[in-house]
Chains A and B, each alone.
Chain A
Amino acid sequence: SSELTQDPAVSVALGQTVRITCQGDSLRSYYASWYQQKPGQAPVLVIYGKNNRPSGIPDRFSGSSSGNTASLTITGAQAEDEADYYCNSRDSSGVVFGGGTKLTVL
C-alpha cells in the first residue's frame, strides 16, 4: 500500500517561514490535504486541492506540490501555529495519512 512520509518534527522562529513536506507516490495523482491538530482537539483542515484554504484559515498557510512531494508553507509563523500537522491523500486502497509533523514555534 502507499505511504505518505513526513518529517517527525520541525521548528521555526516566531514570524519566520517554515515548510512542512509530505512524500508519497499517490501525490503524483492526488493533491495532498493538510490538517492542523492541537492537543486534545480534532484535526482541522487547513489546505486542500492545489492551494485552497477553508473559510477561517489564515492566508499565511499555503500549499504546493511537485512530483511526489507536497508542501505546506506557513509564512510568518505565529505562536498559535504550534501543533501537529498531517498530510492526507488517496491511494489504491482508499485513504492514507502521513505520520505527522510536530511544529514548534520558538
Chain B
Amino acid sequence: QITLKESGPTLVKPTQTLTLTCTFSGFSLSTSGVGVGWIRQPPGKALEWLALIYWDDDKRYSPSLKSRLTITKDTSKNQVVLTMTNMDPVDTATYYCAHRPVMSRDSSGYYSYYFDYWGQGTLVTVSS
C-alpha cells in the first residue's frame, strides 16, 4: 500500500525559505520510471504543479517558479524534500506530494501520465 505524508512548518514569514518533506512508503524511488511530485493549491483556487523528481534524479520544475524551487530525494529514508525560497503571502497554499508511477505508452502511441497516490496535504501560511 502506497502512502505519502507531507510535513513542514505551517507558518512562514515573507522572504523566508520553506522546506517541506514528503515521507512515503509502499514504493521505492530507486525503481525505474517512478517519480514524486509536488503540487500546491491556494485556498479556493486550482491545483498548480511545482516540481517532480524521478528515480534517476532527473528533476523538473514549473517554469514560473523554477528560480525559487529545489527538489531532492533521499532514497534510503524514502523522502523527497522541496525548498522554496523568498516566500510571499501569495504562496499561502496547501502543498501536496504525490506518487507518479511508471509512464506507459499504448499501441496508439499515447502516453499515460498521472499521479495515483497523494498525501493529505499540508497548509502553509505566509504571513508576518
Contacts and interface: CB of A to CB of B under 8 A. Distances in A.
Interface residues of A, number: 29
Interface in A32-84: 33, 35, 37, 42-45, 48-50, 52, 54, 65
Nearest to A94: B60
Nearest to B96: A42
B46 interface: yes
B60 A93 contact: yes
Contact of A95 (B60, B96, B106, B109): B60
Nearest to A89: B113
Given A42-B121, A99-B46, A94 B52 contact: yes
Determine the main DSSP class of B at the interface with A. Answer: loop
A95 B46 contact: no
B119 interface: yes
Contacts of B48: 97
A86 B41 CA distance: 12
B62 A49 contact: no
Contacts of B116: 45, 48, 54
Determine the main DSSP class of A at the interface with B. Answer: strand
* Residue from the set A33, A93, A95, A100 with the largest chain B CB neighbour count within 10 Å: A95
B62 A94 contact: yes
Interface of A: 1, 29-31, 33, 35, 37, 42-45, 48-50, 52, 54, 65, 86, 88-90, 93-100
Given A45-B115, A93-B60, A93-B63, 8 more contacts: A30-B112, A33-B115, A43-B96, A48-B116, A50-B112, A94-B60, A97-B46, A100-B46
The 10 A-B pairs of least Cβ separation, nearest first, read A33-B114, A94-B60, A49-B112, A95-B49, A48-B114, A90-B113, A97-B47, A42-B118, A100-B46, A99-B46
